[in-house]
Amino acid sequence: MGNSPPYDPVRLLAWKILQEMERSSSFADLALDRAFTESPQMDSLDRAMISEMVLGTLRWRGMLDTHIQHALKTPGKKIEPRLTQLFRLGAYQILFMDRVPESAAVNESVSLAKVLFKNEKITGFVNALLRSVIRNKDRDLFPPFAEQPVEYISQAFSHPSWLVGRWVREFGPETARNLCAANNRKPPFTVRTNSLRTTREALHRRLEEAHISSRPTSFSPEGLFLGKSPVLTEESLFQEGLYFVQDESSQVVSHILSPQPGERILDACSAPGGKTTHLAQLMEDRGEIIALELHGSKIKLLEENCRRLGITMVRAVERDASQSLPFTPGETFDRILLDAPCTGLGILHRTPEAKWRRKPEDITRLSLVQKSLLDSVSSWLKAGGSLVYSTCTMTPEENDGVVNSFLERHPEFRLEDLREVLPAGLRPLVDSQGFYRTYPQGVIREPNRMDGFFAARLRKK
């Protein structure tokens, strides 16, 4: 029987994933999935602990850095990234993980430091700094909210100051604070029933039999909130193709397009296929969906999801939708969905790494991409057809601004007021301008916390 390693492999793997996140543009959920796939022997408790440490450290990075800076004898001292990640990981355990004794958080971090750095001075530095974090964990280290709301929210609720400043101007300090608090809470695990194979009620019963509690979503007729996040590679109902993981606000977008069986649909930015496969369900897998996707690797994921769900009507095409499209002159589509690439500021509770990567200039850059995409795909819509433009962000420049700019350049299109065309159950999600707009909890009162989404439906005259 071999000796156990002089460090905790669970914490080491969490540190390695955080390092990967720092060096690359990888998404946290994909990095975690990849790590778990490479370690199939890992038990569910270890997976859960790694997920909490990685996602929690990313969510609370700003606050953790405030505590770390306060613990330094020389505030502002430059610390190398590998060591910074170790400090953040240790501080997260101390400040947020009640089940982890403070002594264990320090000792395990010191053990990792010995293995990673092989330097007694650094090992002692880790020990001293984290013990200082413990001593000051209950102190109020943040500036006063009333006098410095941007600085307070940025530090206490762990968001970049440029984004907090924007939300304070747009929503006011209280709402901005509530929004940032909502972004730091674990999002609900929401799925969409595959209506080609079952009903929501039947899926609910099957989940209960599998000891997974669920309850119906308020707005999407196919949605269910699950009481826990199952490991999808091990969950038989997912593997049978009975559901797709998709937030409720995203599910509503397909109902806004309202495709009909037998129609020809263009999904201009399709992978990984949440809305594509939902459109196919609503069309009873009858008709044709051309699904464009820029990245070939994502097309494989889209095709895999279609196979699992039993969908045959989707044809995936590797193509940049802003460039010339592979259709013949005179060819048209009954409806077009453009779920545009965006800053993703409406889903930060799902992608906490994104708030540290986004910059103010991304908003302007992406709004130009969105306008280009709209110009490109709209020319393939038939007269009388509908086009839905959607994003998972909340910036006016990427939402209203893009739509209004398009309408000025394209008088052959008109904006449809969604209050007049959607079923009554979805109208509470439509604003006074006729746009579909949802927010994380804290911005407006809603019965359920949803992702921040936007959609507009345009009709070609």
Low-confidence ranges of the chain (pLDDT < 70): 1-4, 444-449
CB 14 within 8 A of CB 54: yes
Report the candidate in 310, 303, 308, 333 with the shortest Cα–Cα distance to residue 321.
333
pLDDT of residue 24: 82
pLDDT of residue 316: 94
For 394, residues 6+ apart whose C-beta sits below 8 A from its C-beta are: 345, 346, 439, 452, 454
Distance from C-alpha of 13 to C-alpha of 240, rounded to nearest angstrom = 31
Radius of gyration of the chain (CA): 24
pLDDT of residue 326: 83
Q: Helices in 231-388 by DSSP H: which ranges?
A: 236-239, 248-257, 274-282, 296-309, 354-357, 360-378
Paired strand residues for 333: 381
Residue type, 204: H
Peptide bond into 272 cis (omega under 30): yes
CB 142 within 8 A of CB 154: no
Residue type, 187: P
pLDDT of residue 44: 86
pLDDT of residue 1: 40
Paired strand residues for 381: 333
> Which pTM value belongs to this model?
0.93
What is the set of active-site residues? 392
CB 266 within 8 A of CB 337: yes
**Phi and psi angles of residue 384, each rounded to the nearest 5 degrees, phi first:** 85, -5
pLDDT of residue 195: 98
What sign has the CA pseudo-torsion 194, 197, 201, 207?
negative
Rounded to the nearest 10 degrees, how much is the dihedral formed by the CA atoms of 437, 441, 443, 445? 80
| Inter-helix orientation angle 400-409/360-378, to 10° | 40
For 180, residues 6+ apart whose C-beta sits below 8 A from its C-beta are: 153, 157, 158, 159, 164, 167
CB 350 within 8 A of CB 393: no
For residue 140, give the 3-state DSSP assignment. coil
What sign has the CA pseudo-torsion 331, 336, 342, 347?
negative
Distance from C-alpha of 416 to C-alpha of 425, rounded to nearest angstrom = 18
List pLDDT tens digits, range 153-199: 999 999 999 999 999 999 999 999 999 999 999 999 999 999 999 99
List pLDDT tens digits, range 338-368: 999 999 999 999 999 999 999 999 999 999 9
Which domains can be identified in the chain, with CATH numbers? 9-135 (1.10.940.10), 149-183 (no CATH), 248-460 (3.40.50.150)
Paired strand residues for 430: 436
